[in-house]
Structure 1
Amino acid sequence: MSKTIESIFKPHLKPKEVYQGGKNPPTSNGKKIYKLSSNENPLGQSPKATEALLKAAKHIDVYPDQTDIRLREALVKDFDGQLNANQFICGNSGSEIIDMLLRAFVNEGDEVIYSNPCFLPYAVFSRWYGAKQVDVPLLNTTYDLDLEGILNAVTDKTKIIFLTSPNNPTGTYIPKSVLDDFFTRIPKDIVIVFDEVYRHFADAEDYISGLPYVTEGHNVVAVNSFSKTYGLAGQRIGYCYTTQTIANYVRQIHKPFLLPITSIEAAIGALNDTDFIAETVKTVQVGRKYLTAEFDKLGIKYWPTQGNFFIIDPPLPEFEFTDMLMEQGIMVRPVSQFGAPGKVRITIGTQEANEALVKALKK
């Protein structure tokens, strides 16, 4: 009996929705376009990262470091020695770290819990490994985590729970008291993937990163990226930190020569550029206050944010709204694909970009 190649395709990889990243600005014909659609660094990239990258570019004819140890040692310093080098794992972006964790822990038929609206790769990547995807949505009016809903959704097949703080695309965060309660009640055989790529921008008094939970020995893997605070989105580099036990296990599937030499050197340079990091955080936090006040004046519905972006409920249908802003030279992003139908995400830019946004909104 004749068979087709499709007969050996994995059933859970049948054509479905795929993740689509943000677009680059179109040809502007000399018109200024402000890209406020991809949550990139408003100041560009770290000068020290650029210097390190250009120096490394003279040696791209040779293989890079076999392991990520030099970058991990730089991260130990960045975390003030609270973790050791073997608790860090680096990869080509935070997204690849998420893929690596799913590959390490999830088999076909296992369950993965996430909470929409959220970063779409949680669902897309889980499907690659045949996982049953369990969506416990954020609470509708506030976009807060539904802690009870997640706990009630846990079964003996649950392998990974995704928590994100601050959350993309909503900008909301998980208060310390909620996380403390969560970790006293969650089973000990579940991995908590704690996505904190926007943590540098958070200034809420009760915001907390994954670090204390890792040092206390909880099964937490905290995912970070160099794309936001450090301005290295184009280099595709990220990392996670976790307990020694989990790190030792996951490292078994870490490929040798994984990171390009330019990415390694740029990341180390960026970690050392404390002035650039501080200026980036200040720019975002000042811009956040400015836009909050302007949105209030204009009567635009938005959600308080701890990230470098806002999610808003636009006064027009989302695509009509984004098209009209594009006509004014402002790129923003509709986020139906992230589980927030009708909503639009706006990245906080430089003061010039923020003022241009407000001018376009008024018009």
Structure 2
Amino acid sequence: MSKEIESIFKSYLQPKKAYEGGKGIPSKGEKKIYKLSSNENPLGQSPKATSALINAAKNIHIYPDQTDIRLRKALVRDFDEQLAEDQFICGNSGSEIIDMILRAFVNEDDEVIFSNPCFLPYSVFSRWYGAEQIDVALREPDYSLDVEGILAAINNRTKIIFLTSPNNPTGTYIPEALMNDFLSRIPKNIIIVLDEVYRHFADAEDFVSGLPYVKKGHNIIAVNSFSKTYGLAGQRIGYCYTTLKIAQYIRQIHKPFLLPHTSTEAAIGALSDIEFIQKTVQTVLDGRKFLSQAFDRLGIKYWPTQANFFLVDPPLPEFEFTDFLMQQGVMVRPVSQFGAPGKVRITIGDSEANEALIQALEKM
């Protein structure tokens, strides 16, 4: 490559380690593999979503809806009419929504704050727009939010603060009292991006979503996904909700024909399948109880979780641990890349997958 062309490359886009998604199930071999590495729905997808997807496939030769309005109307119903349709923005996955937010608000040399361990795209995507990334790490050993540390890091270049509740990969959450205190002390010109894609699995009495804060007018953008509870990871569809003013601003960069017809129909179908949603949540809650009891029995160190996965401190070096489990037919994920060196994330599966995991750990 010539030096001349390199001279126009943006300095902050020079090669660095990129985000690596979870691995797929190996295609070779007859042994069954239980994939507990990507936080996917243990039950598959909603039958209503499947039916809607099949019907939509008959018309894939036609351009999809120009806007996301039909899905936004479905979301209004899902939120019991507490928000207006213009307060929702839909996109190709929760990651796409995060990218859109950064594109709308962040300029070169602005600052973005996040708290490791966390979802790596907060950092990677911020770099795409030349932002300086400020990591105010979660407090150990319980991985709680360092409110004072974040407040001390804020300056006139701070544009966005990422919060996650429940957090990936730790499974921890931000209690309502802590969230209230934090928001009361944040300058009014800063955007809070609250990643709440695992909110359906949170059952703590003091868990709080972004909804009450958006209704009160806080500068919060709550990011959600159809990949977890609804089982549509392969359709890559997500959404956010926020105040009307912020949503109208972001919508200016919303591309026409952004959502595939099949994804839109599958998402609308999934939202309507209350029975499947409830079954999914109950499966995760039951699996969470089963695995925590088994981890206690086996002496596996883990963090209490409000999500559909556990963060564990394995009894072997992380890659030895994951390789051993893979040999037993169980895929789990090391999360050093997420800012948790030496730790491993294990998705809660159905009862068969959970049993297979425990049997593998007993062999270890």
Report the TM range for the smaller structure's normalisation.
Answer: over 0.9
| 1:150-229 matched pairs, under 5 angstroms | 150-229=150-229
**CA distance in structure 1 between the aligned counterparts of 2:155 and 2:290, rounded to whole angstroms:** 45
Q: CA deviation digits over 1:206-235, x for unaligned, max 9? A: 000000000000000000000000000000
**CA distance in structure 1 between the aligned counterparts of 2:45 and 2:307, rounded to whole angstroms:** 18
What is aligned with 1:280? Answer: 280
What is aligned with 1:234? Answer: 234
**CA distance in structure 2 between the aligned counterparts of 1:276 and 1:343, rounded to whole angstroms:** 32
**CA distance in structure 2 between the aligned counterparts of 1:334 and 1:160, rounded to whole angstroms:** 28
2:59 is the counterpart of 1:59? yes
**CA distance in structure 2 between the aligned counterparts of 1:154 and 1:15, rounded to whole angstroms:** 28
Counterpart code for 2:282: K
Q: CA deviation digits over 1:12-61, x for unaligned, max 9? A: 00000100000001134211110000000000001100000010000000
Counterpart code for 1:91: G
**CA distance in structure 2 between the aligned counterparts of 1:60 and 1:77, rounded to whole angstroms:** 26
What is aligned with 1:306? Answer: 306
**CA distance in structure 1 between the aligned counterparts of 2:205 and 2:155, rounded to whole angstroms:** 33
What is aligned with 1:355? Answer: 355
**CA distance in structure 2 between the aligned counterparts of 1:7 and 1:110, rounded to whole angstroms:** 23
Counterpart code for 1:270: A
| Pairwise CA RMSD | 0.7
| 1:22-101 matched pairs, under 5 angstroms | 22-101=22-101
**CA distance in structure 1 between the aligned counterparts of 2:26 and 2:54, rounded to whole angstroms:** 28
What is aligned with 1:103? Answer: 103
Q: CA deviation digits over 1:277-334, x for unaligned, max 9? A: 0000000000000000000000000000000000000000000000000000000000
Counterpart code for 2:255: K
**CA distance in structure 2 between the aligned counterparts of 1:203 and 1:286, rounded to whole angstroms:** 12
Query: What is the CA distance between 1:3 and its match in structure 2?
Result: 5.2
Three-state SS of the structure 2 residue aligned to 1:8 is coil
**CA distance in structure 2 between the aligned counterparts of 1:236 and 1:297, rounded to whole angstroms:** 38
Counterpart code for 2:195: D
**CA distance in structure 2 between the aligned counterparts of 1:60 and 1:180, rounded to whole angstroms:** 46
Q: CA deviation digits over 1:149-179, x for unaligned, max 9? A: 1111100100000000000000000000000
**CA distance in structure 2 between the aligned counterparts of 1:72 and 1:237, rounded to whole angstroms:** 12
What is aligned with 1:268? Answer: 268
Query: What TM-score, normalized by structure 1, do the two folds share?
Result: 0.99
Counterpart code for 2:271: L
**CA distance in structure 2 between the aligned counterparts of 1:71 and 1:30, rounded to whole angstroms:** 40
Query: What is the CA distance between 1:4 and its match in structure 2?
Result: 1.6
Counterpart code for 1:312: V
Q: CA deviation digits over 1:92-135, x for unaligned, max 9? A: 00000000000000000000000000000000000000000000
Moved over 3 A (4+): none
Counterpart code for 2:350: T
What is aligned with 1:293? Answer: 293
Counterpart code for 1:197: V
**CA distance in structure 2 between the aligned counterparts of 1:28 and 1:79, rounded to whole angstroms:** 43
What is aligned with 1:14? Answer: 14
Counterpart code for 1:143: Y
What is aligned with 2:256? Answer: 256
Query: What TM-score, normalized by structure 2, do the two folds share?
Result: 0.99
| 1:301-340 matched pairs, under 5 angstroms | 301-340=301-340
- What is the aligned length? 362
User: Which runs of 5 or more structure 2 residues have no equivalent in the other structure?
Assistant: none
**CA distance in structure 2 between the aligned counterparts of 1:241 and 1:171, rounded to whole angstroms:** 22
**CA distance in structure 2 between the aligned counterparts of 1:161 and 1:44, rounded to whole angstroms:** 33
